[in-house]
Amino acid sequence: MSTRETSVCGQFYPSSPTEIKEMFEHYNKILDEHFSDKALFKKKPKAIIVPHAGYIYSAFTANVAFRMFKNSHAKRVVVIGPSHRVYLKGTSICEYDQYETPLGHLQIDTMLVNELKERFGLHCIPEAHHEHSTEVQMPFVKTYDGEALVVELVYGDESPLRLAKVIEYLLQDTDTAVVISTDLSHYYDINKAKRLDGICLEAVQNLDTGMLHQGCEACGKIGIEAMLIAAKNRGLEPILLDYRTSADASGDDSAVVGYMSAAFVEKE
């Protein structure tokens, strides 16, 4: 049985399952005590956008979305993120049988993998799957939807329109949910970061793909744009959930990274 082994475990997130569980429990305690809109956590998103930095910086923001995501009870979860380590043309998908996490393995939906390869002409580029943008999401999936099958898509030089077609196809299935992975601006002072990140946030809030190209510097901008196209075509409504920067954890506001989470739900 082939396994997509962890590549950044112990670096971007703890290798100890106890540490991960305690971290998520701590975040949820904060949400229970301080998050005013409790009704929000009863919604059932079809897709979420989450960050992918080290857990000490971005996991709180991601957890807000995954806490809501658990209501979806998806039978399969497709995690889509940008490649940081290798250049690739298009999007990679590989036929592993299971995905390793410190909390236990997730089973990969090999039937869906083959279906996406055949329908959209996707190929497997193994070295692209030593990727943190997707891997850091898997402990969240294991925690909040542990019986779900998973699929990992890693894109490089990809057309947002092409990726949007994949997302739209996935969202046709009521049992499938999508996770889009991205961080926002990198290493500006906090005031400039917030200005640039505000463009990204407004674009998501308004499903405005044009605005993404007016200053948004998300490393996963292709994935965001594809998600906005798919959401608009599928009639999904965006909800911004959380925004912060690395300064919230480090205290250093001279060179920060921005993080956001958002959800896409059926219109009521």
Looking at the structure of the chain, the number of domains it has is 1
Q: Residue 151's pLDDT is what?
A: 98
Cβ proximity of 78 and 99 under 8 Å? no
- Kindly indicate the confidence band of residue 224, based on its pLDDT and cuts at 50, 70 and 90: very high
Over the stretch 30-63, which tens digit does the pLDDT of each residue have?
Answer: 999 988 777 888 999 999 999 999 999 999 999 9
**Residue 19 located in a structural domain:** no
Q: Which two tokens stand for residue 35?
A: 């998050």
H/E run at residue 57: helix 55-69
3-class secondary structure, 193: helix
**Residue 25 located in a structural domain:** no
Q: Residue 82's pLDDT is what?
A: 98
Q: Residue 30's pLDDT is what?
A: 95
> Does the pLDDT at position 220 exceed 80?
yes
Q: What is the pTM of this model?
A: 0.97
Over the stretch 106-152, which tens digit does the pLDDT of each residue have?
Answer: 999 999 999 999 999 999 999 999 999 999 999 999 999 999 999 99
**Residue 9 located in a structural domain:** no
User: Region 236-246: what's the mean pLDDT?
Assistant: 98
Q: Residue 1's pLDDT is what?
A: 85
Domain containing 192 equals 40-266
User: Region 175-184: what's the mean pLDDT?
Assistant: 98
3-class secondary structure, 248: helix
Nearest residue to 181 via CA among 137, 145, 144: 137
**Residue 181 located in a structural domain:** yes
> Does the pLDDT at position 268 exceed 90?
no
Q: What CATH code is carried by the domain that includes residue 147?
A: 3.40.830.10
**Residue 207 located in a structural domain:** yes
